[in-house]
Amino acid sequence: MEPIYEGKAKRLFTTDNPNELLMEFKDDATAFNGEKKSSFAEKGRLNLDLSCLIFDELAKQGIATHHIKRLDETRLLVKKVDIIPLEVVIRNVVAGSLHKRLGYDEGHVLDAPLVEYYYKRDDLGDPMLTLDHIAILDVATDAELKTISELGLQVNEFLIGFFGNSGIRLIDFKLEFGRDTDGSILLADEISPDNCRLWDATSGERLDKDRFRRDLGDLLDGYREILGRLQGQS
């Protein structure tokens, strides 16, 4: 196993199979493009528990993902994909940077889901991109973008109901996509409270990484609450 990439919350290693990679979930948490950093014992396992549970449900819905199989508490075998350098953010409710961009109150419900694209470039601070920017950068074709936004909205529709059945509101989340060896688009990366905003449906309590970003409470208590509720349901 050779390390080939280390991100803020995950590491990637090669395997004996050139078409497969090993993804390790770390206990580290960062915010504000790495300016705020900490580590929480067990966060890697909790996020992998949550991400596997969610990806399994999405696979049942016919959504193609990079997951192959979980190897242990923090490691996952995935298909090697060519990651499209876009962070695809889907929003149902105003929060975070959309509150700052539009001036609407946090909690304002959008009439329809909003899809935004950010350039996955830490050195640039992951700037937001228009479709014309994406065309100039040539990081995805029009057809791929159409597939990506359709898949994103399909994932959103399913997850609103899935979390909703556990008394959790899906406010917004971030997805990443990759190209398989035959060029087809697969859902990649992870879906966890690191990259979703999840609020308790009754109290509005933040159960996601905003607890760390904004010092709103013990991070892992929120993650354990989400996992417990979803496990109770599935």
Binding site for ligand TMP (CB under 6 A): 89, 95-98, 126, 172-174, 195-197
Q: Report the nearest approach of ligand TMP to the CB of residue 64 (Å).
A: 21
- Give the β-pairing of 67-70 and 36-39: unpaired
CA proximity to 198, closest of 164, 153, 152: 164
Query: Minimum Å distance from CB 197 to ligand TMP?
Result: 4
3-state class (DSSP) for residue 48: helix
Min CB(198)–ligand TMP separation in Å: 9
> What gap in Å lies between CA 109 and CA 98, rounded to an integer?
12
Using the minimum distance from each CB to ligand TMP, give the nearer residue, 14 or 35.
35
Position closest to ligand TMP via CB: 96
Nearer to ligand TMP, 71 or 115 (CB): 115
- Of 26, 119, 12, which Cα lies nearest the Cα of 2? 12
* Least distance CB 28 / ligand TMP (angstroms): 14
Smallest separation, CB 158 to ligand TMP (Å):
16
Nearer to ligand TMP, 71 or 96 (CB): 96
Cβ proximity to ligand TMP: between 78 and 175 the closer is: 175
DSSP string, 51-83: HHHHHHHHHHTT--BSEEEE-SSSEEEEE--EE
- CA-based nearest residue to 205, from 226, 227, 232, 191: 226
How far is 80 from 43, CA to CA, in rounded Å? 24
Please state the closest distance from residue 180 (CB atom) to ligand TMP, in A.
23
DSSP 3-state assignment of 99? helix
Complex with ligand TMP: residue 24 or 208, whichever CB lies closer: 208
| CB-count burial class (<10 Å; 0-12, 13-18, 19+) for 210 | buried
Residue nearer to ligand TMP on the CB measure, 127 or 142: 127
